[in-house]
Structure 1
Amino acid sequence: MNKLTLPLALCALALSIFTLFTHFQKSELAYVDINKLVEGYERTKVERMEFNKKAETLKANVDSLMTGWETDLKSYEKERLSMTKKEIELKQELLKNKQQQISNYQKAIQNQLKEEDQKLTQTVINDINDYIQEYGEQEGYRIILGAKGDGNLMYAEEASDLTEIILEDLNNSYKAL
């Protein structure tokens, strides 16, 4: 019986050490909340402020053109009674053309802003993706998943959430630029 006790004790000890080691070993799987990273990233805030300034300027240009058109329309309405039929037709055609030009300009501005917004968002996401890849390699993660709140990641332990750590590091890296 004594001959079996020592090997069994050694096996139990080895099993305990193995269990303890694997239990406390850092997981090779983790996740980040993409929305929190995008919204919390300092570059997003800076780029968004610049984008909003540009959008406001372009909107002010459209508003200025619309105000000019409305002034012309009011002037036409006041003078209409003293105009000839030919002058009325000509003025209506000019107002119609000006309104169409403003509408076309407004659509072009909206398309430009939409494209720039998409480009800005993609640039920020590329920054984040590059940083997460670098972080994962440095920290020894095999997989870092991105959760967007739309069902991609249904459950994960909170200890697997790297969002705050990566967000802090990402912002520190951005500030260092």
Structure 2
Amino acid sequence: MKKGFIALLTLVMLSSCQEQTKIGFVDNSKLINDYQKKKDIEAKFQVEIDAFNKKVDSIGQSFQAQAAEMQGQDPNMVQKSSQEKYQALAQQYQRFQQQFQMEEQQIQKESQSQIDTLIKEVKAFVKGYGEKNGYSYILGSNEAGSVMYGDDSQDLTKTILEALNAEGKKD
């Protein structure tokens, strides 16, 4: 009996000495979308997009006005001359459209590049947070269901988001 008690006591002591695996999770979408730096990037690019759209609209209206003016000119004008002017106007408009398309692609490329950099930054931050706070794992929850269920007490989204935004304010 005494040996059984000692064995049980030893077993209890060994199991209590074992390091517990600390696991948490974050909602990836919420973490990225609520990150202030992402909101700032989106706001910056929205200003660029709005300016770009105004420019496109303005030039489009200018071309429409030119076309209307050509239609309103002397109806006795030779048809061939009229066609040539319309063709020249159409070619000029097509060049502007190509330029607009390239500008739009450049804005999208730049935006995506900054978002990709931001995601890498967030991943590095979460890794550092996990190491600093003794986590063995920090899982990412998303629409695809990598974490189907998580106890709310293990949801680190808000905590990490606050730390991430506080870190961003220091920069």
| Matched residue SS, 1:151 | coil
Contact kept, 8 Å, 1:66 with 1:102, in 2: the verdict is no
The reply to whether residue 138 of structure 1 matches residue 132 of structure 2 is: yes
Q: Corresponding residue for 2:168?
A: 174
Contact kept, 8 Å, 1:136 with 1:142, in 2: the verdict is yes
Q: Corresponding residue for 1:32?
A: 26
Q: CA deviation at 1:18?
A: 6.1
Q: Corresponding residue for 1:73?
A: 67
Contact kept, 8 Å, 1:30 with 1:143, in 2: the verdict is yes
Consecutive unaligned residues in structure 2, runs of 5 or more: none
Count of aligned pairs between the two proteins: 171
Deviations 1:26-69 (A, max 9, x none): 64322211111111111011111111101111111111110111
Contact kept, 8 Å, 1:32 with 1:146, in 2: the verdict is yes
Contact kept, 8 Å, 1:69 with 1:98, in 2: the verdict is no
Contact kept, 8 Å, 1:27 with 1:160, in 2: the verdict is no
Percent of aligned pairs sharing the same letter: 25
Q: CA deviation at 1:109?
A: 2.5
AA aligned to 1:117 is S
Deviations 1:77-101 (A, max 9, x none): 1116142223202211122112212
User: 1:18 and 1:40, CA in 2 relative to 1: closer, same or farther beyond 3 A?
Assistant: farther
How many Å separate the matches in 1 of 2:93 and 2:37?
38
AA aligned to 1:125 is I
How many Å separate the matches in 1 of 2:107 and 2:29?
21
How many Å separate the matches in 1 of 2:55 and 2:73?
27
How many Å separate the matches in 1 of 2:76 and 2:17?
96
Please state which structure has a larger fraction of its residues in helix: 1
Q: CA deviation at 1:12?
A: 4.7
Deviations 1:103-142 (A, max 9, x none): 2123213212221221121121011011011111111222
Consecutive unaligned residues in structure 1, runs of 5 or more: none
How many Å separate the matches in 1 of 2:74 and 2:54?
30
Superposition map of 1:1-177 within 5 A: 4=1, 6-12=2-8, 27-79=21-73, 81-177=75-171
AA aligned to 1:114 is Q
| Matched residue SS, 1:81 | coil
| Cα root mean square deviation, aligned | 2.3
| Matched residue SS, 1:144 | strand
The TM-score with structure 2 as length reference comes to: 0.86
| Matched residue SS, 1:65 | helix
